[in-house]
Structure 1
Amino acid sequence: MLDAAVDVSDGAASTGPLPTSVDLESLKALAHPLRVRILHVLTTRGPQTASSLAAALGESTGSTSYHLRQLEAKGYIAEDVDRGTARERWWRRSIDEVEVWTKELAEAPEGRAASATVLGAWTAHDSALLTAFVVGGEDRYDEPTLDAARVSSRSASLTPAQLRTLTRDVEALIRERLAEAEAAPAAEGATAHRIQIQFHAFPID
């Protein structure tokens, strides 16, 4: 069984709530390519309007507005009232990580299909961000930022128990470090970038 979580936090995650399991109807509501793309942008770039999402995704404002309402209805997003104006509504993610592939969801073919759609689209968007960094990072970021970033992969032979320990330990460490970063003020003169954290560990034999 593939135990997979999609991070729909805004990057300011803490050691707080663990991944949330969604029911089949909620997952099916998310399993639309444009809704996954919208949720991914809200996660990686922070709050957006229907217009800014339309520009980022190459869609019409009417289309993004419709799908934003569908995501709101299932609790994935909420209006950011602190940013909203009389002319335009802002939207933010409203839940933390989501378990998109669980034993319960996989028991039904439509559950497996919905999980595959969401997870496949999400990882594709993550990969696109990584590719953009690899291709253009040298021209876009300063040396301290490039030195701090890390693109790496390793191969190893692990039992399922060892692999589970590894992945959960890494996820816990990421939450801990993000919580520390959120609590600590940035050093004077330091520039904070939006950071995409990707961790992959899977069997290849």
Structure 2
Amino acid sequence: MIGGRFITFEGIDGSGKSTQLRALAARLRERGGTVVATREPGGAPGAEEIRRLLVEGAPGRWSPETEILLFTAARRDHLERVIRPALDRGETVLCDRFVDSTRAYQGIARADLRATVDALHDLMIGREADLTLILDLDPARAVARERARGGTEDRFERFGTAFQVRLRAAYLALAEEFPARCRVVPADGEAEAVAARIAEIVA
């Protein structure tokens, strides 16, 4: 379970990505691995500034097209400054969201812009994860989790439960499209049980 791999965590808001990323990072470090735990949008100073533009404010603040450009800009900065250097050092990178989020959110659930997302990704990023863990949870439960958590980074959650339903379908479609890379992980139940499922997949 040690060595330079790029593992991403995906899923609808409230599915437990951040919790499970931290659990896997701890497990890998206990086994002697060097792990970089990061997130998108963000993960690098410039990308974190763009994050605030994307995840705060009114739902209609940006069009889907503008969001794609902002996410890609943040991802490029993150790739240059954090992800690629860590992988070049032979470290394991765990990332809370990557391009599959843009494919699901802007490319499928918000608008029919999948071709635009993929074209920009190929041009400016050119890197897929080695393994993508898609945490799957009933949207109603996920929305309840997010409401209980609170906070200001709720712009996408404010699109409502129907949007989360479309997102879940988009992620499951991506898992079918990329079966060699994506694994769907049931995210209901205790966090420890979900972490055990993830550890088995990664091992």
Q: TM-score, normalised by structure 1?
A: 0.26
Larger relative strand fraction: 2
TM-score, normalising length from structure 2?
A: 0.26
